[in-house]
Structure 1
């Protein structure tokens, strides 16, 4: 377990490193594959600089942020996207470098997102997770996230990559506050 790393919001200058991190963690590009890799389900990059910039620009007026975790040496090793919506905080792109998985960093990023929800008076944190990832669904369940019964199709276009099979996203939620 590593000690908590300070988090900071991403700037546009960080986006190339964030894209590289996400593509390593989710597709195995650029290093050893971690348990979060989903290249067997999706081909192509997980994201790119342009998609990240569009995400941040589109949601900036709504207090969205991409929170980053760096080592003491300055290496980017984790991120999470948080977007306050009308009734919940949407969490996405929770990413931990494969060589830092199992250290508690993913949990730290998740707790930071939950704190962001409370700070922005959103009582619920919501996310979507691939139904074909029972290991990831179990990880979130151990942290209190439960399926809502709602599903969404994987967007045909966007920053997820090309599906190698039909894929469905499950909507998960966790109540983090009674304030809303």
Structure 2
């Protein structure tokens, strides 16, 4: 059983980089360029306490990036190592993100994903996220979603 997600440290950066690369590389062809999370500054995000990691089998297998905002918690990124996908780690990270948002006093959690990542849109919709709008940012066509928190 994997432990609970924990705050990432600089020692986790190689594993975070590998997960991001391995999880997002398959989408490059579909999108026509690297997805946004592949160009994020994870050292900066870790230093600001925004990244939590989830270990399984003694190794980091997933991560979530959470950014508090005035109106909602932004779930900026959620990624699971391809070898661990389908094992429930993504679900655990999503549950963790929603719980952290509640604990921080947010009444909603929001996210965005690329419109070409249709499986992600469907997954979030099944979890209660509703599309709020679509927009192009940084040359990427994004679908914005929001979920009210009880």
Structure 1's unaligned 5+ residue stretches are 28-36, 157-166
Superposition CA RMSD, Å:
2.0
Shift of 1:42: 4.4
What TM-score comes out, normalization by structure 2 length? Answer: 0.88
User: Which of 64, 88, 92 is the matching residue for 1:80?
Assistant: 64
Matched, 1:151 2:140: no
Give 1:53's aligned residue: 43
Equivalent positions of 1:1-180 (< 5 A) are: 3-27=1-25, 37-40=26-29, 41-44=31-34, 46-47=37-38, 51-57=41-47, 60=48, 64-72=49-57, 74-148=58-132, 150-156=133-139, 167-177=140-150
Structure with greater Cα Rg: 1
Shift of 1:132: 1.6
Higher RCO by CA contacts (8 Å cutoff, separation 6 or greater): 1
Distance change >3 Å, CA 122–CA 98, structure 1 → 2: same
The answer to which structure has the higher helix fraction is 2
Shift of 1:22: 0.7
What TM-score comes out, normalization by structure 1 length? Answer: 0.74
Query: Is the deviation greater in 95-104 or in 5-14?
Result: 5-14
